[in-house]
Amino acid sequence: MKIKWALLTLIFTIATVLTGCEPLLVLDPKGPQGRTTADVIMISIWTMAIVVVVVFALYIFIVRKYRASNQSEDYEPPHIEGSLKLEIVWTAIPVLIVAFLSVVTVVSTYKVEATPEGYNEEPLVIYASSSNWKWHFSYPEQNIETVNYLFIPTDRPIEFKLYSYGPISSFWIPQLGGQKYAMADMVNTLNLAADVPGEYSGRNANFTGEGFAQQTFNVKAMPQKEFDEWVKEINATAEPLTEDKFEELLKPGHLGQSTYTGTHLTFSPPPEGHHEKGDSGNEEVQPGSSKKEQDEEVDHSKMNH
Amino acid sequence: MKVDHSLPLEYGTEQNRLNILGFWIFLGAEIALFGTLFASYFTLVDRTGSGPTGAEIFEITPVLIETILLLTSSFTIGLGIHAMRLGKAKAMITFFAITLLLGLGFLGVEIYDFIVYIHEGATLQTSGFTAILFLTLGTHGAHVTFGLFWGAFIILQVIKRGLTPETANKAFIFSLYWHFLDVVWIFIFSFVFLKGMM
Amino acid sequence: MDFFARFAVPNPGPTIYASMVAIALTMVAIFVGLTYYKKWGYLWREWLTTVDHKRIGIMYLISALLMLFRGGVDAIMMRAQTAVPENTLLGAQEYNEIFTTHGVVMIIFMAMAFIMALMNFAVPLQIGARDVAFPRLNALSFWLYFFGAMLFNISFVIGGSPDSGWSSYFPLAGTEYSESVGTNYYMLALQISGLGTLITGINFITTILKMRAPGMTLMKMPMFTWSALITNLIIVFAFPVLTVALLMGTMDRLFATNFFTTSNGGMDMLWANLFWVWGHPEVYILILPAFGIYSEIISTFSRRNLYGYKSMVISMVAISVLSFLVWVHHFFTMGQGALVNSIFSITTMAIAVPTGIKIFNWLFTLRKGKIVFTTPMLYSLGFIPIFTIGGVTGVMLGMASADYQYHNTMFLVAHFHLVIIPGVVFAMIAGLFYWWPKMFGFMLNERLGKWSFWFIAISVCVTFFPMFISGLDGQARRMYTYSESTGFGIWNLISFIGAIGLAIGFALIVYNIYYSIRYSTREIPADPWDARSLEWATHSPVPEYNFAIVPEVDSTEAFWDYKKKGYKLFKGKYEPIHMPNNSGVPFLMGLVFFVWGFAFVFGMWIFAVIASIGIAACLAHRSFEKDHGRYISVEEIEKTEKDLGGAKE
Ligand code: HEM
Ligand SMILES: [Cu+2]
Ligand SMILES: [Cu+2]
């Protein structure tokens, strides 16, 4: 029986750690999207904790009470087919729980997929592209590009446009919100925002080969004014990003942080851009926007089953 | 071997009945296989890269010939099984032979068609679309090729051993296989070729 | 020399040289041993050519244990590497190869083989059959699996291991980013063994539908047989998807096609979809037989009939259907948008309902029972709480918005290990202890068995619980190292300690096998556990024809009724029994497939053509062969039955 108590203790330890003094990154959000997911996670943990406690309690009770050593020699366990009433109970209650969690999921999923609300300003668009094993951030509006680090203004929605110059990568800043894939043949949109100035860590979460472990980047969130100053300074001091330079940056390997004026978007536009402009003759031309692919995937489900 | 004479020969023994059920389940797996190919085909059909689209390379005449050959062969193998049930080994062998010849004709036209595609610049490597096109057609074609050998073996066995529960069982199962390939072809004809040409 | 250069491993390290030596020594030892003891003939006659489902089951079992060892060594190395920050025990490339082979070996070659072992051994016995519907194909299934596994395993020392994860996502797995032949091995080895699995699927469905003892209607089948039926149905519909995906992947790699490339119209996401359309049902292929085993064991050692038989069956059917409708949850983060993700979240969480029903049915089987804590029962009882934790975290992962945070992290790793280990591995061990006496005629040592249980059960928790925490703290999976400042160190260290405990637990099982072979008494009854289903109604070990007289059944627990209520199980008298002949063709065909796969891996087309002709020749041989099997005479049966301890009523 000791193991069950050990288990319970462990669960409580985990619960303490989750809520305790040194918060885990995912549960210590610094923006609206991260807060939504953290809330969802806590809701699900508590809901599931109830399930676990009920099952464990029943289990401990039954296993203790009906062990052979606790019973008389001539006890003959009865033959019981089952009970419709009980079956209904343990079908209906889980259905209710799943229904509850489904509602939470749908609402929160729509929420984190959309531009965060409550901000006056238009979203800042940043193109985040991965290459083995780096991240390139292009600010078309500000006309600058950084490698392996990201400056963002606080209190303003950020719209990341994600794509890859290599394998499927996943763009993830745990404290700001969930991750999303960056792929070579389409552009994904990830909506985030930071409310608190500070430094956060970001990384590629999806395995991309040898240099994957170090494919990280730093995020610095700062008030808009500071951000504008930073932009101004970069524009004044950084070198321009040439096509040759970008080719060099794309070569597999690790790089430190660097900054350029201009973006690679002008000479090496993201995959979706190609398609919309209908500009053909390029290897990267991909018909099939994200919307279309979804339909196909749903279609596909019908096909197979 | 216990033979139950109240049933058709191909169902006569316990093992025969097992074989037939097993083969039906195998066809279930084949449906999943071709279903996956079709799903992938629909996913990739517009992804032609810099290569040609279906409409640019498909031609109706060879495809129609293929369809007619295969449909007819499905009919003749039905006649072959009918003859087998009547115990007419000779007629059965004849119909089976015709079936295989039609299958061979189908394969010939399909290979010709492939060569035409390649000449028009649609090779296996050209694009996502051509890859799945060749894979779907090729998987079906490979099944037909396999069927030609299999059918020939069965004909040889019927000639050598006559109509026994064993040979009848094999012939019947082979006919199921052949009909199945016909059904798959009808899907290919409608959803790959007709749809692609429209 | 140029010809041989391709077989060199791209970046050999000490682990690889050590394995080369180990493999060479083992092979020499086996060869010398067999020759010295003059066992070649025995090996060929009794094992390599056998078509007996029991022996095939045992061969699966041995292979599964070997693969468990291989995958376990991988696991220990990974945990050792990550035990402390910035460790340099393994390099990035080595680590990547190891976690890739760990995943593939454990799922495809260990867990699958283990369930195949127990299904092969137990299902025909449980339904009172003499063998499976197609014994010859059954042998072929095994040899395809076996040679597929061998092909995969030699990649380590010849040409290089695959290194793009067990999910092998393109374009990473394409030739551009994975240049070595490693991923070719992945594609071909899985293809070959997958073919074997598909054949098993067809074989067992036919067997279960057509060869049950008289009176055993579908709703009177033992629960393990039910689970086998449903599992094999899933196999038949899921494996062809893998076949196609692997075919496309192979063509992309060997013939430069554009299925999954990122140029010329290829679509990387197609691979992800196809992989998981197979992959999710695959995890249920693993878990359902495990559920079946637990049902048998829990009912046996509670000394009660299984509670809610009907709802057990219905919930398994529901799980099998749902398992095909949830695959998108493996890539919620691919950008399908909120609608698609919401739909798949709901289908995913819905699986928890039938799973919960099963848990409650097991609990209520225990209730009013008379629980005996044997080793198989301990594993089954350990399964319930740990699997519950794995399951509820599955539900949490199923919530799309939250999954954006769990995906690709150690949290996910914790989830699936906490379902697969208590779910599948515990069931396999439990089944091993449970059916061992039936297989070999003696029991495994209970004391050592219980020790191994406590080691494994506690260590599983110690190993995987910390991963929930480090996952939520942002530790991505598949990282070969991390910096000290992340603070992941402590959790990974705990995890490593747990992994050592697991290794000790498994070593105890192996020692138990050795110990029991040497010391365990051979004087055991045919029904040592006081069990309920038909396999216990025949002798241990089981004679080749299984039952001298085919049992007749009229309830779900006919054997129990026979013991307790005087029900007459065996009516009639001995009759000659028809049995299939042994054949070396399946073994040869497996061998030829091995050569075929190897030739493809290295693009050696001449060999590939020769091997293809070899395969065709085997098939042609089978077509023309006349083999009507043989009969065991009544005298022979009488003699065997007497030798095994008296004829059965
Ligand atoms: C209550 C039932 C379950 C639910 C709701 C569930 C849900 C999930 C979800 C949503 C994921 C994907 C998470 C991600 O990639 O972000 C996942 C992964 C996984 N699950 Fe489960 N699961 C359940 C039971 C099982 C069982 C029974 C098994 C195996 C026997 C299993 C094995 C796995 C594996 C192997 C993966 C990870 C695959 C990979 O990415 O390498 N799950 N599960
Ligand atoms: Cu994409
Ligand atoms: Cu899944």
- CA dist., res. B168 & res. C491, Å (int): 66
User: Which residue numbers in chain B have pLDDT < 50?
Assistant: none
The percent of chain B in helix, strand and coil, each rounded to the nearest 5, is: 80, 0, 20
Beta carbons of B32 and A304 less than 8 Å apart:
yes
* B187 falls within a domain: yes
The residues, any chain, with a CB within 8 Å of residue A130's CB and separated by 6 or more, are A136, A163, A164, A165, A166, A169, A171, A182, A204, A208, A215
Residue C647 has pLDDT above 50, yes or no: no
CB < 8 Å to C623, chain B: 150, 153-154, 157, 170
Using the Cβ of C88 and the Cβ atoms of chain B, whether some distance falls under 8 Å is answered with: no
Using the Cβ of B11 and the Cβ atoms of chain A, whether some distance falls under 8 Å is answered with: no
3-state secondary structure of C560: helix
Q: What is the pLDDT of residue A277?
A: 31
Å from CA of C422 to ligand 1 middle: 14
CB < 8 Å to B174, chain C: none
Å from CA of A289 to ligand 2 middle: 9
Note every long-range contact of A83-90, with CB atoms under 8 Å and residues 24 or more positions apart, other chains counting. A83/C308, A86/C360, A86/C364, A87/C308, A87/C311, A87/C357, A90/C356, A90/C357, A90/C360
The answer to whether C508 and C72 are in contact (CB under 8 A) is no
Q: What is the mean pLDDT of residues C449-454?
A: 96
Neighbours of chain B (3+ CB pairs under 8 A): A, C
C560 lines ligand 1 (CB under 6 A): no
The answer to whether C225 and C288 are in contact (CB under 8 A) is no
Query: How many domains is chain B partitioned into structurally?
Result: 1
CA distances from C239 to C32, C205, C231, C277, C497 (A): 39, 15, 12, 9, 37
- Dihedral sign, Cα of residue C318, residue C320, residue C325, residue C331: positive
Please give the distance of CA C493 from its chain centroid, rounded to a whole number: 29
Atom of ligand 1 nearest to the CA of C287: 30
pTM tops 0.80, yes or no:
yes
Using the Cβ of B33 and the Cβ atoms of chain A, whether some distance falls under 8 Å is answered with: no
Nearest ligand, measured from the Cα of C388: 1
Angle A32-65/A84-113 helices, nearest 10 degrees?
160
3-state secondary structure of C620: helix
Q: What is the pLDDT of residue A174?
A: 96
Per-residue pLDDT of chain A (305 residues; tens, 9 = 90+): 455 566 566 666 666 655 555 789 999 999 999 999 999 999 999 999 999 999 999 999 999 999 999 888 889 899 988 889 999 999 999 999 999 999 999 999 999 999 999 898 899 999 999 999 999 999 999 999 999 999 999 999 999 999 999 999 999 999 999 999 999 989 999 999 999 999 999 999 999 999 999 999 999 999 999 999 999 999 999 999 999 999 999 999 999 999 999 999 999 989 864 333 333 333 333 333 333 333 333 333 333 33
Q: What is the mean pLDDT of residues C198-227?
A: 96
Å from CA of A216 to ligand 3 middle: 28
List the single residue in A with minimal CA-CA distance to B38: A303
- The helix (run of H) or strand (run of E) holding residue C168 is none
pLDDT band (50, 70, 90) for residue C649: very low
Beta carbons of A168 and C172 less than 8 Å apart:
yes
| Nearest Cα residue to A187 out of A128, A242, A135, A102 | A128
Question: Which residue from A285, A299, A304 is facing B35, i.e. has the nearest CB?
Answer: A304
C46-64 tens-digit pLDDT = 899 999 999 999 999 999 9
CB < 8 Å to B128, chain C: 258-259, 261, 264-267
Count of CB atoms situated within 10 Å of the CB of A53: 12
C517-533 tens-digit pLDDT = 999 998 888 899 999 99
Name the residue with tokens 């969802």.
A40
CA distances from C342 to A113, C140, C337, C348 (A): 11, 43, 9, 10
The residues, any chain, with a CB within 8 Å of residue C42's CB and separated by 6 or more, are none
Q: What is the pLDDT of residue A6?
A: 61
Please give the distance of CA B47 from its chain centroid, rounded to a whole number: 28
Nearest ligand, measured from the Cα of A181: 2
B92-117 tens-digit pLDDT = 999 999 999 999 999 999 999 999 99
Angle B14-44/B165-187 helices, nearest 10 degrees?
20
- Write phi, then psi, for A181 (nearest 5 degrees): -75, 145
By most ligand atoms within 8 Å of CB, the mutation choice from C282, C346, C416 for ligand 1 is: C416
CB < 8 Å to C251, chain B: 124, 131, 135
The answer to whether A145 and A138 are in contact (CB under 8 A) is yes
Q: How many interchain CB pairs under 8 A, B with C?
A: 119
C321-341 tens-digit pLDDT = 999 999 999 999 999 999 999
Residue C117 distance to chain B (closest CA, Å): 21
C395 lines ligand 1 (CB under 6 A): yes
By most ligand atoms within 8 Å of CB, the mutation choice from C415, C420, C425 for ligand 1 is: C415
Using the Cβ of A289 and the Cβ atoms of chain B, whether some distance falls under 8 Å is answered with: no
Atom of ligand 1 nearest to the CA of C329: 10
Residue B47 distance to chain A (closest CA, Å): 6
- Dihedral sign, Cα of residue A27, residue A30, residue A34, residue A39: positive
Atom 7 of ligand 1 has which residue's CA nearest to it? C394
The answer to whether C614 and C527 are in contact (CB under 8 A) is no
| Residue extents of the structural domains in chain A | 24-67+82-114, 124-274
Atom 42 of ligand 1 has which residue's CA nearest to it? C416
Residue A117 distance to chain C (closest CA, Å): 17
Q: What is the pLDDT of residue C54?
A: 96
Q: Which stretches within C410-567 are classed as H helix? A: 410-420, 426-440, 446-472, 489-519, 558-564
C624-646 tens-digit pLDDT = 988 888 899 999 999 888 888 75
CB < 8 Å to A54, chain C: none
Beta carbons of C616 and B149 less than 8 Å apart:
yes
CB < 8 Å to B42, chain A: 296, 299-300, 303
C288 lines ligand 1 (CB under 6 A): no
C281 lines ligand 1 (CB under 6 A): no
Q: What is the pLDDT of residue C21?
A: 81
The residues, any chain, with a CB within 8 Å of residue C210's CB and separated by 6 or more, are B17, B18, B21, C133
Å from CA of C417 to ligand 2 middle: 29
C330 lines ligand 1 (CB under 6 A): yes
- Dihedral sign, Cα of residue C154, residue C157, residue C163, residue C169: negative
Rounded percentage of chain A residues whose pLDDT exceeds 70: 82
Strand-strand pairing, A198-204 and A169-172: antiparallel
C354 lines ligand 1 (CB under 6 A): no
- CA dist., res. C258 & res. B40, Å (int): 12
* B4 falls within a domain: no
Q: What is the pLDDT of residue A273?
A: 40
* B80 falls within a domain: yes
Residue B44 distance to chain C (closest CA, Å): 7
Residue C19 has pLDDT above 90, yes or no: no
- On the 0-12 / 13-18 / 19+ scale of CB atoms within 10 A, C153 is buried
Nearest ligand, measured from the Cα of C334: 2
Using the Cβ of C256 and the Cβ atoms of chain B, whether some distance falls under 8 Å is answered with: yes
C245-290 tens-digit pLDDT = 999 999 999 999 999 998 889 999 999 999 999 999 999 999 999 9
Q: What is the pLDDT of residue A17?
A: 59
Task: List the domain range (segments joined by +) for residue B120.
Answer: 9-197
Count of CB atoms situated within 10 Å of the CB of A118: 9
Count of CB atoms situated within 10 Å of the CB of A236: 8
Joined together, the tokens standing for residue C68 give 């468990």
Residue C133 distance to chain B (closest CA, Å): 7
Best A275, A292, A303, A304 member to test B by mutation, with max B CBs in 10 Å, is A303
Joined together, the tokens standing for residue C511 give 């020692």
Which of C 594-623 lie inside 8 A of A, CB atoms?
none
By most ligand atoms within 8 Å of CB, the mutation choice from C330, C331, C332, C478 for ligand 1 is: C330
CATH code: domain of residue B185? 1.20.120.80
Beta carbons of B36 and A288 less than 8 Å apart:
no
Amino acid present at A126: I
Atom of ligand 1 nearest to the CA of C165: 41
3-state secondary structure of A275: helix
The CATH homologous superfamily to which domain A124-274 belongs is: Cupredoxins -  blue copper proteins (2.60.40.420)
Beta carbons of B25 and C236 less than 8 Å apart:
yes
CA distances from C251 to B124, C96, C245, C259 (A): 10, 24, 10, 8
Nearest ligand, measured from the Cα of C411: 1
Best B14, B17, B18, B150 member to test C by mutation, with max C CBs in 10 Å, is B18
Fold of C1-290: Cytochrome C Oxidase; Chain A (1.20.210)
